[in-house]
Amino acid sequence: MTCSLRRARLAIPSLALLSLFCFAIPAFPQGPKPIPAEKPWMNSTLSPDERADLVLKEMTLDEKVALLHGVGMPTDDPVTPENAPSNRGVGYAVGVPRLGIPGIDMSDAAYGVRSSGVNGRYSTALPANVAAAASWDPEAAYEYGALIGRELRAQGFNMTLGGGVNLTREPRNGRTFEYLGEDPVLAGTLVGKLIAGTQSQHVIGDIKHYAFNDQESGRNSVNIHIGKRAARESDLLAFEIGIATGHPAAVMCSYNRLNGDFACENQYLLNEVLKKDWQFPGFVVSDWGGTHSTEKASAAGLDNEQPGRFSFGDRYKIAVDAGKVPVTELDDHVRRILRSMFAVGVIDYPRLRSVVDPFAGFETARKIEESGIVLLKNNKAALPLDAAKIRTIAVIGAHSDVGMISGGGSAQVDPIGGNAIAAPGQGATRWQEQIWFPTSPLKAIQARAPKATVTYDSGADPAAAAAVAKAADVVIVFAYQWESEGMDLESLSLPLHQDDLIAKVAAANPRTIVVLETGSPVTMPWVDAPAAILEAWYAGSDGANAVGNVLFGSVNPSGKLPNTFPKSEADLPHPNLTKPGPESEHFSGPVSPETRAAGLPPFEVTYDEGVKVGYKWYDAEKKPVLFPFGYGLSYTSYKYAGLQATSDKAVKVTFTVANTGARAGAEITQVYAALPASAQEPPKRLVGFSRVNLNAGEKKTVTVEIDPKYLSIFDEEKNAWTLLPGDYTLMVGGSSQSLPLKAVINLK
Ligand code: BGC
């Protein structure tokens, strides 16, 4: 079109010349836009910092303060002149239209774009973040983030609020499904890739909740106590790696207090660690309602209050006018926001509403789920199922006739097609109501066993379900544990008598396969009874097809656990989760806005397990577990050999892994290190991993280079990572408890 118009104008006669001309024209038909003399910051050859400085010089005090806060929650609030240009997400900061700086339009997007249903838009629900973590696949994490970025942009947003990376220190945390497991190296690497994927779409990326919001109970008031070394080597290390890997433009500070101060006004967290030690150049946004002061928060390093402006609106301006907030401090906040917008490209590539491609989204969601499903048990090769040999299949429980459960709270994605367990046209998503995605395991199973009679039983009556099970060739029981932001799990046991259901069904028919839909680990008093167990997590928009493909073997399972499954809650570092008293849970009666902003009185939780999160705890305490970190079976088998460890410039391990079975598969190879005794660390820590595709019979050489930080301890006195001299044992294998290869290197 462009070519023919130009040809007409320029009257170029020959086709050959025309094609030359067509190839020569740039992506923008008119060529790059000229840079207006009055807006020199539109020159994209300048650095983000230079561009931010040029804008800053032109801004009035009001314009600067306007960038520091939100204007309410457009999702809930009526349309006002300030939020009218927004996309009606959960947060909006008006830009500086006069200077060509757009508003920052924020949406939650943990496993897909939130609240799109009310706006008549489509969003793909990816499998829960914990499922992506189970794939141990940095490329899949990138694709996960890129899909979210594409859909945000297509819907008109330019900032995500995803990127959750709190460690699973407390597995009953109701947001475990939104996070990436218990290990900082795995979680940090994957969240970094996810963020890089999102930002590749010119959408501002975010990493959250910084830091130690590891339980939901009393999250607005809890005061977490932990020492600096343990903090830096655990939860903060996950953030450090995530930020270094993905360069998110934003960090969301969390609701809780840490060692006495709220995270969003915590000098140590924001200024000392994030901005000074890690040299983070982006901006800190408060969690929603997590700002508790003006001067203190500003001085500690908070850059942007969301969703409102109680502390960073008029009060901020007054504080600047009164000299209580230095102008240099104000300018630093503004500069950080502007430079981030330039760095990610939201100014050069303005958000552009277009069309979400739900078909491509389903395919990506399915593939990631397929690589994250974990086969926990498979006695006598009960799986994969051979459709040709099965006459009857009983499918039981968890609404598996119509759908699969999803994780709730601000992560909740509206299902394309509505809630599977609601009447057609009903089923809007509401805070803390379960949403079942219309992806039917029953249909997926029937489609893969067309000649078999496939029946469904709800499982409501375990005895009746057992009778159905007894009559079938094969039984597939679906069981779930729903979780959501704003609550913690009562326990790690399956709720609603599902333990009883599984026990009775498996007793009636030994060819029982259990499929779990959970975000957190589960205890399994019935673990010995069924023939096979699959952990499918919250499986996303096309979860049933992914589960069907694994059950019938067109996909070989390859996921490995990103969280330890303990035998019992008595084995957790904190067998009982500490909950707030009533005074720390809610304000009683009407309170002034000042009191509300200042926050609830604290209650204390001490992380005395320190760095011993997840497997590090069970290893150190010598507690046997149900299924260890890094564990997962396959339909084929792998053999490890030939470990060599070298430490010339960097520490590297090289080994071979062979597929010794008859099917292609992907093996997640893991490298752990035991530090010298002088380090006084838990017995081992993950220091590297690599997901390796192997055809049947194929053998590959794998090299993993280990970041020296992963072998170091955090020295509080030096305030630095320190590699201690001594012997390091490097261990390689397919799970934290199956490490057949060992080598010792001495580091000076
Ligand atoms: C959550 C954040 C979320 C924000 C906006 C908060 O309650 O903790 O994760 O991004 O709300 O919805």
pLDDT tens digits, one per residue of 454-478: 999 999 999 999 999 999 999 999 9
- What is the structure's pLDDT at 424? 77
Backbone angles phi and psi of 730, in degrees to 5: -100, 130
pTM of the predicted model as reported, rounded to 2 decimal places: 0.95
**Among the listed residues 624, 485, 620, 528, the one whose alpha carbon sits nearest the alpha carbon of residue 567:** 624
Nearest CA to ligand 1 atom 7: 288
- What is the structure's pLDDT at 662? 96
Q: Which of 18-27, 217-226, 674-683 has the lowest mean pLDDT?
A: 18-27
pLDDT over 60 at 320, yes or no: yes
pLDDT tens profile 429-448? 888 899 999 999 999 999 99
Instruction: Check: CB of residue 726 under 8 Å from CB of residue 678.
Output: yes
- What is the structure's pLDDT at 17? 34
Mutate to test the pocket of ligand 1, among 108, 208, 220 (most ligand atoms within 8 A of CB): 108
- What is the structure's pLDDT at 207? 98
Nearest CA to ligand 1 atom 6: 288
- What is the structure's pLDDT at 119? 78
pLDDT over 90 at 3, yes or no: no
Q: How far is the CA of 310 from the centre of ligand 1 (A)?
A: 17
pLDDT tens profile 686-708? 999 999 999 999 999 999 999 99
Task: List strands edge to edge, sheet with 206-210.
Answer: 206-210, 250-253, 283-286
Nearest CA to ligand 1 atom 4: 288
Q: How far is the CA of 613 from the centre of ligand 1 (A)?
A: 24
Ligand 1 pocket residues where CB is under 6 Å: 90, 108, 161, 208, 287-288, 410, 485
Q: Which of 71-75, 315-319, 372-376 has the lowest mean pLDDT?
A: 71-75
Two structure tokens written together for 429: 């998503």
Of the pLDDT bands very low, low, confident and very high (cuts 50, 70, 90), residue 30 is: low
Q: How far is the CA of 411 from the centre of ligand 1 (A)?
A: 8
For residues 160 and 111, give the distance between their C-alpha atoms in angstroms, rounded to a whole number. Answer: 11
- What is the structure's pLDDT at 597? 92
- What is the structure's pLDDT at 649? 83
Two structure tokens written together for 571: 């084995």
67, exposed or middle or buried, with CB in 10 Å at 0-12, 13-18, 19+?
buried
Q: How far is the CA of 90 from the centre of ligand 1 (A)?
A: 9
Nearest CA to ligand 1 atom 2: 287
For residues 545 and 111, give the distance between their C-alpha atoms in angstroms, rounded to a whole number. Answer: 18
Q: How far is the CA of 654 from the centre of ligand 1 (A)?
A: 43
Of the pLDDT bands very low, low, confident and very high (cuts 50, 70, 90), residue 18 is: very low
**Among the listed residues 480, 390, 373, the one whose alpha carbon sits nearest the alpha carbon of residue 436:** 480
Share of the chain above pLDDT 70, in %: 96
- What is the structure's pLDDT at 32? 64
Q: How far is the CA of 410 from the centre of ligand 1 (A)?
A: 6
Which atom of ligand 1 approaches the CA of 410 most closely? 12
pLDDT over 60 at 11, yes or no: no
Q: How far is the CA of 584 from the centre of ligand 1 (A)?
A: 20
- What is the structure's pLDDT at 21? 31
Mutate to test the pocket of ligand 1, among 256, 288, 413 (most ligand atoms within 8 A of CB): 288
Nearest CA to ligand 1 atom 5: 288
Q: How far is the CA of 506 from the centre of ligand 1 (A)?
A: 41
